[in-house]
Amino acid sequence: MRPKPVSDTAGQRIRETRKRHLWVVADLARALAEQGDDHLTESVIGDIESGRRYSDGTRRRGVEIDELYAIAKALSCSPLILLPGEEGPGFLGPMQEKDLPNLIKALQGWQSFLQQVGLPGQRET
């Protein structure tokens, strides 16, 4: 059996990391445009993440190394996290859609806590 192409794994990891940010593809495209990488449009990102293929089985769009670095910068992560074989300590693993309600609940709890105790340097109003 042939190993999974690197572009397939990178696309999957890009999607997982984007979802951890609670971003849709448009959010990532906007962040990329703001840093000067406006050639990485929603359509391009969709092709990279999905691994869409032509009828002959060839991948429609891989990810180039410069694009991988740009995407990692927009996602505030190391490009190595987006490549195969980096599941070492600190790797959070893929987030599933079913995990979102728990994440949102946890974030709301932290937000409530921080509102109660205030942040260092915040003035009382």
Number of domains in the chain: 1
113 part of a folded domain: yes
Q: Find the domain containing 51 and state its range.
A: 6-117
Q: Does residue 123 form part of some domain?
A: no
Residue 125 lies in a domain: no
pTM for this entry: 0.66
User: Which tokens belong to 56?
Assistant: 């002959």
Residue 49 is assigned to a structural domain of this protein: yes
Residue 23 is assigned to a structural domain of this protein: yes
Could you tell me if residue 99 is inside a domain?
yes
Q: What's the pLDDT at 90?
A: 42
The pLDDT tens digits for 32-56 are 999 999 999 999 999 999 888 888 8
Is 111 within the bounds of a domain? yes
CATH number of 89's domain: 1.10.260.40
Q: Which of 62, 83, 111 is nearest to 17 (CA)?
A: 83
Give the count of alpha carbons within 13 A of 78, CB side only: 8
- Written as tens digits, the pLDDT of the chain (125 aa) is 666 778 888 999 999 999 988 999 999 999 999 999 999 999 999 999 988 888 888 888 888 999 999 999 999 988 888 888 755 434 455 556 666 777 777 777 777 777 777 665 555 55
Average pLDDT of the chain is 81
